């Protein structure tokens, strides 16, 4: 497995997004199978694992903590704070909460669930418009000084917010959606991260599965699958957006690869400090995804993808409206 630097943190070139392991895409998979999958990822060179208190809530962190405890010193764990979740009951209001005292309480609870004495990368999950970002960065700075956190991250934050936070406590990584399915970060975010020396961790690097080529307008999701709420996954939008899958598939066929591998290799080719975190609950998909690290897309391949993709107007918002309002700029 190749490695990359995000900020001053070294991780495997692909990480593993663990959100789907506790039911976000429908029924929760078998816990034992997920622990074996996490171990399988590490056996294949993955050192970077992504979770959050909000996934469950709490159950995803607990799963990851149990799975990684035997190899804790060999991996990097990223988790997140920032939603208004009761730390005793797991009840949530749906709003944000990044008050400094809440951040510190979330960190203490996460340390217990993750069975560790230090969180490697602690992201603010969503910007809290009621709390100055300087106060948020200051709270994480305190946690770093106490040895409970190593690195500070931001998720779905805009450039102004990132700059203000970075001035108080250096930001190691920013996590946001980025793929051929959503290229919004290219305009302002990527240039700013390059300037500041901050790494980028794209979530949904396969467009929540769409770019893998296994979903079309006739696909039916489980009733609890969050994609049922996403405008981009309406049957009409999926039908229109299949043209983008066709672009990826054309290159994949020529390279003897899969569409998922081409989509991930395309992301890896954009900057050397980009580390995607595709999620999966299946070992064969994990192995497929990891094959992207060694897939060499030529300058001509990349130019072809960009030229063909630029002709396609992707239909539908990437997230439900209520969630989009929480992205901070």
Q: How many CA atoms lie within 13 A of 222 on its CB side?
A: 10
Torsion sign across C-alpha atoms 305, 310, 315, 316: positive
Say which residues have a Cβ less than 8 Å from residue 228's Cβ, sequence separation at least 6: 221
Q: Rounded to whole angstroms, how far apart are CA atoms 30 and 162?
A: 38
Q: How far apart are CA 266 and CA 277, in angstroms?
A: 14
CA distance 301 to 288: 20
C-alpha radius of gyration, the chain, whole number: 19
**Length of the chain in terms of residues written:** 329
Q: Give the integer Cα–Cα distance in Å for 277 and 167.
A: 27
The phi and psi torsions of 176 (rounded to 5 degrees) equal -155, 165
CA pair distance 248, 260, nearest whole angstrom: 8
Catalytic residue list contains 25: no
Q: Are 211 and 179 in contact (CB under 8 A)?
A: yes
DSSP string for 153-166? EEESB-HHHHHHHH
Q: Would you list the DSSP string of 28-92? A: PPPHHHHHHHHHHHHHTT--EEE--TTTTTTHHHHHHHHHHGGGGGG-EEEEEE-EEE-TTT--E
- Name 92's bridge partners: 85
From the list 25, 55, 123, 178, the catalytic residue is: 55
User: Which residues are marked as active site?
Assistant: 55
């Amino acid at each position: 497995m190749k490695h990359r630097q995000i900020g001053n943190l070294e991780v495997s070139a692909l990480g593993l997004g663990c959100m789907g392991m506790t039911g976000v895409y429908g029924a929760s998979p078998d816990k034992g199978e997920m622990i074996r999958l996490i171990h399988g990822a590490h056996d294949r060179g993955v050192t970077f694992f992504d979770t959050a208190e909000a996934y469950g809530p709490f159950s995803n962190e607990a799963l990851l903590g149990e799975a990684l405890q035997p190899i804790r010193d060999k991996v990097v764990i990223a988790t997140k704070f920032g939603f208004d979740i009761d730390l005793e009951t797991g009840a949530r209001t749906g709003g944000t909460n990044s008050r400094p005292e809440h951040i510190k309480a979330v960190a203490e609870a996460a340390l217990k669930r993750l069975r560790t004495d230090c969180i490697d990368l602690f992201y603010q999950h969503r910007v809290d418009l009621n709390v100055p970002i300087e106060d948020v960065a200051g709270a994480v700075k305190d946690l770093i000084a106490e040895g409970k956190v190593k690195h500070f991250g931001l998720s779905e934050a805009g450039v102004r917010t990132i700059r203000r936070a970075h001035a108080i406590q250096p930001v190691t990584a920013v996590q946001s959606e980025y793929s051929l399915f959503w290229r919004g970060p290219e305009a302002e975010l990527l240039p700013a991260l390059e300037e500041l020396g901050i790494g980028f961790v794209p979530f949904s690097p396969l467009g929540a599965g769409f770019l893998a080529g296994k979903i079309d307008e006739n696909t039916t999701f489980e009733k609890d699958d969050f994609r049922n709420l996403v405008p981009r996954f309406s049957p009409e939008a999926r039908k229109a957006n299949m043209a983008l899958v066709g672009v990826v598939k054309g290159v994949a066929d020529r390279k003897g690869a899969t569409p998922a591998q081409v989509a991930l290799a395309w992301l890896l080719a954009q900057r050397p400090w980009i580390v995607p975190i595709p999620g999966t609950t299946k070992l064969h998909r994990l192995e497929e995804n990891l094959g992207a690290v060694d897939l060499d897309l030529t300058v001509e391949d990349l130019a072809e993808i960009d030229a063909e993709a630029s002709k396609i107007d992707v239909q539908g918002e990437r997230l439900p409206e209520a969630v989009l309002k929480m992205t901070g700029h």
